[in-house]
Amino acid sequence: MKPVKVGICGLGTVGSGTFNVLHRNAEEISRRAGRRIIVEQIGARRDNPNCNTKGTQVTRDIFDVAKNPEIDIVVELIGGYDVARELVMTAIENGKHVVTANKALIAVHGNEIFEAAQKHNVMVAFEAAVAGGIPVIKAIREGLSANRINWLAGIINGTGNFILTEMREKGRDFADVLAEAQALGYAEADPTFDVEGIDAAHKLTILSSIAFGIPLQFDKAFTEGISKVTPEDVTYAEELGYRIKHLGVSRRTEEGVELRVHPTLIPEAALLANVNGVMNAVLVDGDAVGQTMYYGAGAGAEPTASAVVADVVDVVRTLTADRDNRVPHLAFQPSSLSDAPVLPIEQTETAYYLRMQAQEQPGVLATIAQQLGDQGINIEAIIQKETSEEQVPVIILTQRVQEGKMNAAIAAIEALDAVHGQVTRIRVEQL
C-alpha cells in the first residue's frame, strides 16, 4: 500500500519530539501501522536545533500544510485557541485527518471540530492532549468500554504536583517553589494556567466527556488554584492522615456530572497521594473493573510525542474503515451523547478541611461548631494548636456535605468576633 504522508505544524518541544520519534522508529511504526508513514512537510515559524529536518520540505506558513494535496494527516502542535482552531478546521475542510496535542483547543472548540470531522468523513485524534505520554484516553474510551464509569480523579498538571511535593517534603512555601519550577522550565513565566487549575480543567473536561458521554463543557468546570495553600496546611493535613494534591475530579451523580479542579486532601495511603514530582496519574472507577490507575510522564518532548505518534498509527490503521465503524471521538456515538447537566460547584458534595485563626478564650470552639451544626455539618476531627499568642490556629475536618451549606457555614464563622480573617477551605476526597 502507498505510504501515508504526514504534515507537522509546529516544531517546538513536542513537534521536534514527534519528528524525531517518527524518524528514529520508522521501521517499527510501519510494522505496527501496516503502511509506511512519511513526514512530507513541516510548517514552523523557525527551525529547531533538536531535530534534523534536512530532506523534509519546510514552510513558514502552517496553512500550506493544511492545504497541501499530498498530505493525508495534519499534526497540529502549535498550541493556543484561535489560530489552532482555524488551522484544524482548514485541514478538515481539505479532507485531512487531524492529530493534535492541544487540550485547550479540544476542551473549548472540540464539539465544533468533531462535528466538522464527521461531516467531512475524517478523524480527529487527541490522545496527547491529556496527561502527555499516558494513554488514558484510549484506556477509558476503548479499554473500559464495557464499564459504566462512576468517577475519575487525576493529577493532570505536573507543575502543580511538583510544587505541592516540594512543599510537603521540604517545608517550602508556594512562592519559593514556584520560582524554582520556573527556573527548571516546569512552569511558564506566566504560570496562571498551571497553578490556577485552567490547564487541568481543560484536560478534565475532555476526560469527563469520554467517561460519561456528554458534550465538552469547559465553561462549566469549577477551577481553584493552589496559590493559597500554605506549608502549615500541608503539615496539618499530614497530622490528620492526609496529603494535599491538586486534583481534577469528575463524578456521575443522580443530579448530573461534577466537574471540578481544586486542592484536595486525600488519604496518605491512597495511590494518588503517592504520585510525586512532575508525574501525572489518573484513577478511574468503573462498575465492572473497579479502580484502575494510569501513571507516567505527563509532559515532555518524547513522552508526548509517544502519544502523538500512536494517534497517527491509529489513523493509518483505520483509513480504510467505514466512518460508522470507527471509534467515536468522545467514546459514544455522536447521536447518543447524554444531556446530563454539569453541576454547579454549590451542588457538589465533599468533606472539608477548614483552617482559621480564633481567639484563645472559652467557648470559641463550641460557637464555631454551632455554626457548622446549624447547616447540618458533622465534625470528623479538630486540631487546636497551643500557643502563647492571643489567636490560635483551629483546624477542623468535616464529614461530607453539600458545598452550598459549607459556604453558608463559612460565612457565619467569618462573621464571628472571635474568628480573625478568612477561613481556609480545602476539599477532601476518600479515593
Active site residues: 203
What is the number of other CB atoms lying within 10 angstroms of the CB of residue 428?
A: 21
What is the b/e burial string over 355-385, where b = at least 16 CB atoms within 10 angstroms of the residue's CB? bbbbeeeeebbeebbebbeebebeeeeeeee
In this structure, are strands 97-100 and 124-125 parallel, antiparallel, or unpaired? parallel
Q: Are 88 and 105 in contact (CB under 8 A)?
A: yes
Closest CA to 273 of 138, 123, 142, 169: 169
For residue 171, report the phi and psi dihedrals to the nearest 5 degrees: 70, 20
Closest CA to 212 of 266, 262, 298, 287: 287
Q: Are 76 and 10 in contact (CB under 8 A)?
A: yes
Q: Are 134 and 298 in contact (CB under 8 A)?
A: yes
The residue type found at 158 is G
- Cell numbers 456528554 correspond to what residue? 214
Taking the C-alpha atoms of residue 268 and residue 233, their distance in angstroms, rounded to an integer, is 14
Extract the C-alpha cell encoding 119.
461531516
Taking the C-alpha atoms of residue 294 and residue 299, their distance in angstroms, rounded to an integer, is 14
Specify the 3-state DSSP secondary structure of 8: strand
Extract the C-alpha cell encoding 428.
477532601
Which residues are paired to 153 by β-bridges? Answer: 249, 283
Closest CA to 73 of 301, 319, 326: 319
Taking the C-alpha atoms of residue 106 and residue 110, their distance in angstroms, rounded to an integer, is 4
Instruction: For the chain, give percent helix, strand, coil, nearest 5.
Output: 40, 25, 35
Gyration radius of the chain over CA positions:
24
Specify the 3-state DSSP secondary structure of 218: helix
